[in-house]
């Protein structure tokens, strides 16, 4: 231990860089001098929850080590208002429950000061996660909870009224309001964003806050009602998505990295029609964008236009679990080939293109097999002899690792569920246009990367 303490500070710091967090946490307990030295590493990230019972402990930690905190993970826990709707004379117990849930929903003073920057002044990276009790399931939530909390669209006046009537809506807005006043944030990750508006989203303070973000990540909440109907069947869900450019993307004037994750059971994209909303980002938004990640989306003209308008600055593009769909328009199906060709025609400066999908089944049996498989990682084994064309495709895929099945899916007209279009997957693979356009675009990307490496 004495030898370790004799090391120059720079070398000791290098040692910690190659250690796990648990390792240097243990190391810090061996000696007060080491503990002091490792404080900036140990307390670089702080997790805060809006729970009253955690406030005293967090306050003590922040008072002693808050100056070291550079990353903040904030969890906003929400509870429904426990009001059964009975009359005042019949619901004394219910009113007590409602008052209790309102108090629990309140943003604690410590949480407000941490979010707003009165404490932990050096934070530049914030992860803000909304966690609802029972994932919004239960009759005490708006309109019975689950997908029905966003059953109807809202106007700005409706939003303010809801924030006065529902404590969880008021608390959610209060948290965003506090966050908007913090200065110096460069990385912002909004997780499980509730698809309901906040009055803060309409303010200049919120717009100015987003203006300075360099790295923006947003993941949208989505769900189902337990009987099959998905969020995308509700007009209020669609309305919120359509306003996301107004609330978020339209103000990211400094953002160079943007990640947009839709709910995996409620993918976004395609022309406006039943259960679908187009990609909600204007083509001229985010003027400094260099790196874009989209997850759980339909490729659509809006996404293609966004990439096209940024083609001379976008350096990397990642599409994860994104799909084509022949149902985008009866007059004009939109294919992977057309999407990729649109990007290619702009002569992009892309140096990295990553397109990944968990699966793209060739048969209906393959689509549903994984749900019942004991080992989800195991390769699909059909129970019966497959059609000749399917066997031929599988053989080609085995023999040529560059080939892939480009996924096409559709949303069920009634429930909004995601179903793979196996026939379209097979047809598109045999036609080969999607694969050809991908290979052409990848040659452009690889050439761009080699040119950049030579500079």
**pLDDT reported for residue 9:** 57
**pLDDT reported for residue 163:** 94
Q: How far apart are CA 43 and CA 20, in angstroms?
A: 14
Q: Could you please report the per-residue DSSP string of 216-272?
A: EEEEE---B-SSS-BGGGSHHHHHHHHTHHHHTGGG-TT-SEEEEE--TTS-B-SSS
> Do residues 70 and 121 lie in contact, with contact meaning Cβ atoms separated by under 8 Å?
no
Q: Are strands 409-411 and 418-420 parallel, antiparallel or unpaired?
A: antiparallel
What are phi and psi for residue 139, nearest 5 degrees? -70, -15
> Do residues 307 and 343 lie in contact, with contact meaning Cβ atoms separated by under 8 Å?
yes
Whole-prediction pTM:
0.90
- 163 has which bridge partners? none
Tell which phi-psi region holds residue 138, choosing left (phi > 0), alpha (psi between -120 and 50) or beta: left
Q: Where are the alpha helices (H) located in 73-144, listed in sequence order?
A: 92-105, 109-116
Query: Residues for the chain: how many in total?
Result: 455
Element (H, E) at 65: helix 55-65
**pLDDT reported for residue 372:** 73
> Do residues 285 and 252 lie in contact, with contact meaning Cβ atoms separated by under 8 Å?
yes
**pLDDT reported for residue 231:** 95
Domain boundaries, the chain: 44-80+104-453
What are phi and psi for residue 282, nearest 5 degrees? -60, 150
Q: One digit per residue, pLDDT tens: the chain, 455 residues?
A: 455 556 565 666 666 666 666 666 665 555 666 667 677 788 899 999 998 888 999 999 999 999 999 999 999 999 988 754 432 233 333 434 445 555 566 899 999 999 999 999 999 999 999 999 898 998 788 777 899 999 999 999 999 999 999 999 999 999 999 999 999 999 999 999 999 999 999 999 999 999 999 999 999 999 999 899 999 999 999 999 999 999 999 999 999 999 999 999 999 998 766 688 889 999 999 999 999 999 999 999 999 999 999 999 999 999 999 999 876 555 567 899 999 999 999 999 999 999 999 889 999 999 988 767 777 677 888 878 899 999 999 999 999 999 999 999 999 989 999 999 999 999 999 999 999 999 999 999 999 999 999 87
């Amino acid at each position: 231990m004495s030898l370790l303490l004799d090391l120059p500070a720079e070398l000791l710091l290098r040692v910690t860089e190659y250690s796990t967090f648990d390792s240097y946490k243990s190391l810090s307990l061996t000696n007060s001098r080491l503990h002091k030295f490792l404080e900036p590493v140990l307390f670089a990230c702080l997790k805060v929850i809006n729970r009253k019972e955690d406030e005293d402990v967090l306050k003590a930690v922040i008072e002693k080590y808050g100056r070291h905190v550079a990353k903040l993970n904030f969890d906003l826990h929400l509870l429904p208002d426990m009001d059964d709707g009975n009359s005042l004379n019949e619901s004394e117990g219910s009113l007590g429950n409602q008052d209790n849930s309102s108090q629990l929903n309140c943003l604690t003073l410590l949480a407000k000061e941490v979010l707003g920057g009165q404490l932990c002044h050096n934070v530049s990276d914030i992860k803000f996660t909304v966690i609802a009790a029972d994932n919004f399931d239960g009759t005490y939530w708006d309109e019975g909870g689950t997908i029905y909390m966003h059953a109807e669209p809202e106007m700005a006046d409706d939003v303010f009224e809801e924030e006065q009537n529902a404590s969880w809506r008021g608390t959610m807005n209060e948290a965003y309001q506090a966050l908007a006043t913090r200065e110096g944030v460069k990385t912002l990750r909004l997780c499980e964003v509730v698809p309901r508006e906040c009055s803060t989203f309409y303010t200049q303070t919120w717009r100015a806050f987003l203006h300075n973000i360099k790295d923006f990540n947003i993941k949208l909440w989505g769900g189902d009602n337990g009987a099959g109907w998905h969020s995308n069947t509700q007009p209020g869900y669609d309305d919120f998505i359509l306003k996301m450019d107004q609330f978020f993307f339209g103000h990211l004037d400094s953002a160079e990295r943007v990640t947009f994750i839709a709910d995996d059971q409620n993918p976004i994209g395609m022309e406006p029609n039943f259960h679908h909303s187009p990609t909600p980002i204007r083509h001229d938004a985010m003027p400094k964008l260099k790196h874009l990640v989209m997850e759980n989306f339909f490729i659509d003209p809006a996404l293609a236009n966004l990439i096209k308008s940024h083609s001379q600055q976008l350096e990397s593009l990642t599409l994860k679990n994104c799909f084509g769909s022949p149902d985008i328009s009866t007059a004009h199906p939109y294919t992977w080939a057309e999407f990729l060709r649109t990007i290619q025609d702009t002569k992009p400066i892309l140096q990295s293109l990553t397109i990944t999908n968990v699966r793209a089944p060739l048969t209906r049996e393959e689509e549903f097999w994984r749900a019942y498989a004991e080992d989800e990682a195991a390769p699909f084994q059909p129970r019966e002899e497959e059609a000749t064309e399917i066997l031929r495709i599988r053989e080609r895929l085995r023999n040529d690792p560059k080939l892939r099945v480009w996924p096409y899916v559709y949303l069920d007209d009634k429930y909004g569920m995601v179903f793979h279009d196996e026939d379209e997957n097979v047809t598109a693979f045999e036609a080969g246009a999607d694969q050809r356009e991908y290979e052409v675009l990848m040659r452009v990307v690889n050439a761009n990367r080699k040119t950049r490496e030579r500079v």
